[in-house]
Amino acid sequence: MPRPIRATIHSPALAHNLAVAQKHAGAAKIWAVLKANAYGHGLLRAAEALKAADGFAVLDFVDALKLRSAGIDKPILMLEGFFKPEDLPLLSRYNLTPVIHNVAQLEMLEKVTFVGKMDAYLKVNSGMNRLGFTVDNVRLAWNALEAHPGIGEVTLMTHFADADGEGGVTAQLQWFNELTQPFDTAPRSLANSAALLRFPDETRGDWVRPGIMLYGCSPFLFKTAEDIGLKPAMTLSSEIVAVQNLQAGERVGYGMTYEAAQEMTIGVVACGYADGYPRHAPSGTPVLVNGQRTGTVGRVSMDMLCVDISNIEEAYIGTPVTLWGEGLSCDEVARAAGTLSYQLLCALAPRVPVVEVAAGV
């Protein structure tokens, strides 16, 4: 007898969101970013729904292998490249495209022989200061890759730190262009979702790399997913499993942080932080009970959370509750909890049963 919680993945919404990305991308090709189990949506399920993408970007070799084992022969971009010399023959064998972002990787490339040629991405640090070659070594990296007999096409890549924020992309774009000016003719890949949506003309290059928008969430604080035309691809839902009537002054949950100001009724919902719901979501975080909007009360516990159902029509044990997704954007819930939809989606716990809806949007 399973708990009533479940995540519903709307595959047509994934396909729809990809079409939105394609519209913005124009002639540029699309890497659908599938890292972190496709932002919690399921690697193979998302790959199938996003099969119109030109390639898939992942982090882990096992994910790349799962895609290949499922018969996917599109390009696969390894976003952090490789970690050990012994990874190189595997990349070559499975026709994976590594991102090369540091000198240690160049040294490994010099040491290991592998059969055939693999394409590579040369990552330039244009200001985010996380991964990538800098002004000191970008030319060295380019020369090493160009001269390497096992490397095919080299694409220049960078990643924006603030494409969704005040900083925008101007400074990074300018520095990237300066650093790569000597190798001007190489293809390029710059844009994440925010850059693609906000600065498409400047950043689309030859390949774009949308992630969050494919899953129906907005990369922006100032624009909702709906404004962008995106549809939620994951709905986390559950049911009320207990009802409590409180008198004024009675308190709720661990730490007794919430006190009823007047008589009220609360529903106890089968969803907690062990399911991936954020523990730090404060009282008042939005939730839908029987399709009607209300808020959480008290602390989220491991397996349960409480919601105010005083003014909800038809709220009993068994009444459906939407934690996020259709009718309640994950972005809004995340914001109330002081985080981002990225984190909520990726945190969906393996114990939550997943149901796929393959038709309708």
Residues that bind ligand PLP (CB under 6 A): 33, 79, 159, 192-194, 209-212, 219
For ligand PLP, which is the closer residue by CB, 42 or 211?
211
Measured CA to CA, the distance from residue 321 to residue 289 in angstroms comes to: 5
For ligand PLP, which is the closer residue by CB, 212 or 312?
212
Catalytic residue among 29, 35, 74, 117: 35
For ligand PLP, which is the closer residue by CB, 33 or 233?
33
Cβ–Cβ < 8 Å for 290, 210: no
Catalytic residue among 74, 123, 254, 258: 254
316 is catalytic: no
For ligand PLP, which is the closer residue by CB, 163 or 333?
163
State which residue has the least CB distance to ligand PLP.
Answer: 211
CB of 308 to ligand PLP, least distance (A): 33
CB of 263 to ligand PLP, least distance (A): 45
CB of 212 to ligand PLP, least distance (A): 4
Beta strands in 298-360 (DSSP E): 305-308, 320-324, 354-357
For 89, residues 6+ apart whose C-beta sits below 8 A from its C-beta are 112, 114, 115
CB of 196 to ligand PLP, least distance (A): 8
Cβ–Cβ < 8 Å for 291, 319: no
For 27, residues 6+ apart whose C-beta sits below 8 A from its C-beta are none
The position carrying tokens 């399920």 is 45
Q: How far is CA 154 from the centre of its chain?
A: 26
For 86, residues 6+ apart whose C-beta sits below 8 A from its C-beta are 112
CB of 80 to ligand PLP, least distance (A): 9
The one-letter amino acid code at 192 reads N
Residues 299-302: contacts with CB under 8 Å, at least 24 apart: 299/253, 299/254, 299/255, 299/257, 299/258, 300/272, 300/273, 301/253, 301/254, 301/272, 301/273, 302/272, 302/273, 302/274
For ligand PLP, which is the closer residue by CB, 138 or 194?
194
23 is catalytic: no
Q: How far is CA 309 from the centre of its chain?
A: 32
For ligand PLP, which is the closer residue by CB, 233 or 288?
233
For ligand PLP, which is the closer residue by CB, 197 or 323?
197
Q: CA-based angle 41:279:218, to the nearest 5? A: 45
Cβ–Cβ < 8 Å for 223, 1: no
Cβ–Cβ < 8 Å for 76, 96: yes
Output DSSP code: residue 66. Answer: H
CB of 163 to ligand PLP, least distance (A): 8
CB of 35 to ligand PLP, least distance (A): 7
Please identify every residue annotated as catalytic: 35, 254
